[in-house]
Structure 1
């Protein structure tokens, strides 16, 4: 019983990851009301059902040949907290497996026949009290589930490779942005250098032009001084 309980907890955790809790059937992450098990890796049902006093409630789950069925139940409240659960054959409705007069239990079956199997909750031993029962049901084909898991792993590997490529591209883009920023800084530096040189050359050229003009004026003045003469001598006599 301890091993069965551990297996039930393992399957509960496993399928709660693949199929989140909810009333609608979820197949490969998509909700569907009409479930066809053929070709799909598995299905999960998780619900609460009230079984009236002295009554039997049955529901059906289609299972393909070779599929595995796991059923676990627990009486939440009502009466003596005990219940019978039966798994019936899809052909003659004979009882395949049963848990009788217990507050909780686990049923497991490896289906040999394809068809709708009946899971019946029997509260006929209680004449006065109804009972609320929690039911967790899992059906899966082990080979299909292994294939589905392998496909998921392949997809994760592809996503990992794609993520690595994206990371490489992102690093290259960052390097390009850094290079562009450095180029812009060099352009600004060169612009200030060119502007400064232009201002320096303009001012130095103006100064040189002023010096040349002053030298020219002085030269003209002194040359004219050399050729300047008078018509009289210092004693006011006419020159010869």
Structure 2
């Protein structure tokens, strides 16, 4: 491995470390099902829950965010995507629940991003008592921009996946419609040929007597 590849590998390793504080997952939500995810949060900590339905049905689910004291902090019905941010009032386990109970046959694929707290500064920058140097300021700015790039890439991948799924569904429906039209045309054509042959075929005397 040359030096350039080593730098690239180190870069992606550091990038993975920098975003490891964010919980991201994609899960399948069956029809008539409800799934909850739990996170213990300290009092006074900021957190954000973001979700998006990637595939399935009309791309909508129900969402609830429940506090440790069972208070419903946020509720949305039949949403395709949404984001909710709040500062935790009490310490405890918070629950983010996703429901597909209103659907009787459509499975959903759901993306969830749960961010708790603020990200730690880069090593060596958090304990500064003086102004940062130009190199440190540039590193901090690059770090923040890379995090934004990761978020943008995630959302673009989700939209691309959603668009591809919709295109595949549309292509399947168009194909089935075309097959149905082809079968109908063939049946109508055969029926017309049979009817025309009956019009121009000569009947035998025995057939005319009983007709």
Q: TM-score, normalised by structure 2?
A: 0.50
Greater radius of gyration (CA): 1
Q: TM-score, normalised by structure 1?
A: 0.44
Work out which structure has the larger RCO, using CA pairs closer than 8 Å and 6 or more positions apart in sequence.
2
